[in-house]
Amino acid sequence: MQFGLSYANLKMTTIMTPIVLFLLFLSLTAIPPGGRQYISLQRPGCVRSGVVHHEILHALGFHHEQSRSDRDRFVTINYANIQPGRQRNFRKVQTNNLGTSYNYRSVMHYRKTSFSRNGLPTIVAKGNPNQILGSSFITYSDIIRVRRLYGCRVVHHEILHALGFHHEQSHSDRDKYVTINHTNIQPGKEKNFRKVQTNNSYTDYYYRSVMHYGE
């Protein structure tokens, strides 16, 4: 497998320009510790960038900011104001905070009245009730975390997965271009080589794609 985005990959993703710009901006990373998740972007052009950034960070393994293990030093959760059944959205998680300080304006932070049952705040910053929480855009500290958690190699591959792209050799037309030697595949790994009904209308099969398996 090669690393770095190829021209064909870029062409494929120009339909998602705002996201791609963000990806290039990150120019990062690797496979998240918990494996990969697929995020759904049904109408990529219509998704607000903050939502996309938020979802991509989830896909990379990040939790909500107010779930941080050290959050009680920074915010108060008003359980009485939370919608019934939504309390678990406010649970704490044993997070690795990667040496970064708590960020009230993280794109991963809930808003002050998220999941409020009565319009009153569900989260309040300690020491400053007027502190704005959350953000519509990714912040510098969000990016620093991604950089610290990941190296600089497989990120393009993984982000293309997160955007919904399959491996190149899974393309529906792959049999015209490659032969899969099923007898040589490790037991249990055959499904990694399955074919998928892909939309190939944007590009030809590309042997050097960052989404193509190596030999």
209, 171 contact by CB (below 8 A):
no
User: CB-based burial of residue 23 (10 Å sphere; 0-12 exposed, 13-18 middle, 19+ buried)?
Assistant: buried
Task: Tell me if 64 is assigned to a ligand binding site.
Answer: yes
Task: Spot the catalytic one: 55, 65, 190, 215.
Answer: 55
Task: Tell me if 54 is assigned to a ligand binding site.
Answer: yes
Task: Tell me if 53 is assigned to a ligand binding site.
Answer: no
Task: Tell me if 212 is assigned to a ligand binding site.
Answer: no
* Amino acid in the structure at residue 79: Y
55 is catalytic: yes
* Amino acid in the structure at residue 66: Q
Task: Tell me if 171 is assigned to a ligand binding site.
Answer: no
Provide CB contacts within 8 A for 206, sequence distance 6+. Answer: 6, 8, 9, 168, 212
Task: Spot the catalytic one: 158, 168, 190, 215.
Answer: 158
Task: Tell me if 161 is assigned to a ligand binding site.
Answer: yes
CA angle 68, 92, 125 (to 5 degrees): 60
Task: Say how many C-beta atoms besides its own lie within 10 A of residue 148's C-beta.
Answer: 13
Annotated binding residues for Zn(2+), as ranges? Answer: 54, 58, 64, 157, 161, 167
- List, by residue number, the catalytic residues: 55, 158
Annotated binding residues, as ranges? Answer: 54, 58, 64, 157, 161, 167
